[in-house]
A and B are shown apart, each in its own frame.
Chain A
Amino acid sequence: EIVLTQSPGTLSLSPGERATLSCRASQTVSGSFLAWYQQKPGQAPRLLIYGASTRATTGIPDRFSASGSGTDFTLTISRLEPEDFAVYYCQQHSTSPVTFGQGTRLDIK
């Protein structure tokens, strides 16, 4: 199975700052079938990015961007808003079983 390792585990930043989250795969994620989710307490995960770099819906602000291919992927939040502080997960669905990273918690500093 493809193991996804996210770093850092916790990121403490202030509103307005830039956040860079990393997701590294143990094997190539083919077809860029790499997604990013945001999860807030008591809520289901919300799809932010699919295909490694495509924002999921028009409702996803353009401050969220993502890039990467192969084994290295990045989610960037250009200017943090208060509502962005949450846990972020990467996920691959190119190879069974579907796997998730362990998550990066984005905390308010």
Chain B
Amino acid sequence: QVQLQESGPGLVKPSGTLSLTCVVSGGSISNSNWWSWVRQPPGKGLEWIGGIYHSGSTNYNPSLDSRVTISLDKSKNQFSLKLTSVTAADTAIYYCARGSERAFDFWGQGTLVTVSS
């Protein structure tokens, strides 16, 4: 059973950089899947941030494209998210998820990131 676990700071200052890591267990990140980040502001809906394929190629939501970087570390079986120039609007629960032809079939439990001084 594939499991994903997010980690990173729960508090980021405005204009700073949000950095999160998702460790994958129970399966190799090098398999033919893609790995995504999805966020959910408190009490609101889901927004796809972007994803990275096992090959390393990336695909970002145009609404965040200029601020997002997703990277893969195959040696640690993990992938990461960096979001720059954050504001209060970036406060959300951040989920990592595995993508396939079956959509997002495995999700992490989510981690709340608050942007505040």
Q: Which residues of A contact B (CB under 8 A)?
A: 1, 33, 35, 37, 43-47, 50-51, 56, 89, 91, 93, 96-103
Dominant secondary structure at the A interface: loop
Q: Which residue of A lies closest to B95 (CB)?
A: A44
Q: What is the chain A residue whose CB lies nearest that of B51?
A: A98
Q: A45-B46, A98-B61 are in contact. List 5 more A-B contacts (CB 8 A).
A: A1-B62, A44-B95, A91-B104, A99-B48, A100-B45
Give B41-77 as 1s and 0s: 1 = Cβ < 8 Å from A's Cβ atoms: 0000111100100000001111100000000000000
Kindly supply a per-residue 1/0 record for chain B positions 84-102, scoring 1 wherever the CB is within 8 Å of any chain A CB and 0 otherwise. Answer: 0000000000010001011
Residue of B nearest to A57 (CB): B105
Residues of B in contact, count (CB < 8 Å): 23
B45-A103 in contact (CB<8A): yes
Q: Which of A47, A89, A102 contacts B102 (CB 8 A)?
A: A47
Q: Which residues of A contact B107 (CB under 8 A)?
A: 44-46
Q: Which of B60, B62, B95, B105 has the most CB of A within 10 A?
A: B105
Please name all residues of chain B whose beta carbon is closer than 8 Å to the beta carbon of A100 when the two chains form the complex: 45-48
Find out whether the CB atom of A44 lies under 8 angstroms from the CB atom of B45: no
A contact residues around B102 at 8 Å (CB)? 35, 47, 50-51, 56
Across-interface contacts of B45 in A (CB, < 8 A) = 89, 100-103
Asked whether B62 lies within 8 Å of A98 as measured between CB atoms, the reply is: no
**Would B48 and A35 count as touching, CB distance under 8 A?**
no
Query: Is the CB–CB distance between B59 and A47 below 8 Å?
Result: no
Q: Judge whether A44 and B108 touch: CB under 8 Å.
A: yes
Residue of A nearest to B4 (CB): A44
Residues of B within 8 A of A102 (CB): 45
Question: B63: shortest Cβ distance to chain A, in Å?
Answer: 8
| Residue from A33, A43, A44, A93 with most neighbouring chain B CB atoms (10 Å) | A44
In the complex, residue of chain A having the shortest beta-carbon distance to the beta carbon of B103:
A35
B105 pairs with A44, CB closer than 8 A: no
Task: List B residues 2-51 near A (Cβ within 8 Å).
Answer: 36, 38, 45-48, 51
